[in-house]
Amino acid sequence: MTFRVLVVFSVLCTAQCLAHSFPPGFKFGAATSAYQIEGGWNASGKGRNIWDTFTHGTSNIVVDKSSGDIACDSYHLWQQDVNMAEELGLDFYRFSISWSRLLPKAFANEIDEDGVAYYNNLINELLKRNIEPVITLYHYDLPQILQDLGGWVNPLIADWFANYAKVAYSLYADRVKTWLTINEPSILCDYIFTTGMFPPMIKEPVLGPYLCNKNVLLAHAKAWRIYDEEYKPVFKGRVSIANNPVWIEPASPEHANLAELAREFGAGRYSHPIYSKKGGWPPSVEKHMAILSKKQGYSESRLPSFSIEEIELIRGTYDYYGLNHYTSRVIRPRRPGEEIGPWIFYGSTELDAVLETPKSWPTTDADDVVMYPKGIRKQLEWLHHKYGNITFLITENGCASRSDDNDQDRIAFIKSYLEQVSLAIKEGIHVEGYTVWSLMDNFEWLFGYKTKYGLYKVDFNDPQRRRTPRASAHYYANVIKTRTTDFPTNIRHKKKYYNNRSNAKSLHSHNILLFILCWLCVK
Q: Which positions are catalytic? A: 184, 396
- Residues with Cβ within 8 Å of 7's Cβ and at least 6 positions away in sequence, in order, are none
Where in 171-273 does DSSP place strands (E)? 178-183, 238-243, 247-250
Q: 345, 329 in Cβ contact below 8 A?
A: yes
Single-letter code of the amino acid located at 148 = D
Q: 208, 202 in Cβ contact below 8 A?
A: yes
- Cα gap 398→434, rounded to integer Å: 11
Q: Please give the distance of CA 325 from its chain centroid, rounded to a whole number.
A: 6
Q: 274, 315 in Cβ contact below 8 A?
A: yes
Provide the 8-state DSSP code for 319: S
Q: Please give the distance of CA 483 from its chain centroid, rounded to a whole number.
A: 22
Phi, psi of 29 (to 5 degrees): -145, -175
Neighbours of 93 (CB within 10 A): 26
Strands 92-96 and 27-31: parallel
Q: 102, 122 in Cβ contact below 8 A?
A: no
- Cα gap 84→78, rounded to integer Å: 10
Strands 353-356 and 328-333: antiparallel
Q: 200, 147 in Cβ contact below 8 A?
A: yes
Express the helix, strand and coil content of the chain in percent, nearest 5 each: 50, 15, 40
Phi, psi of 182 (to 5 degrees): -135, 135
DSSP-derived 3-state class of residue 368: coil
Closest CA to 390 of 324, 318, 326: 318
State in Å, rounded, how far the first CA of the chain is from the last one.
15
Q: 68, 39 in Cβ contact below 8 A?
A: yes
Longest alpha-carbon distance in the chain: 78
- Cα gap 442→69, rounded to integer Å: 12
Give 136's strand partners: 96, 180
> For residue 292, what are the CA distances in angstroms to 248, 286, 351, 458?
22, 10, 9, 48
Q: 239, 227 in Cβ contact below 8 A?
A: yes
Q: 421, 376 in Cβ contact below 8 A?
A: yes
Neighbours of 360 (CB within 10 A): 6
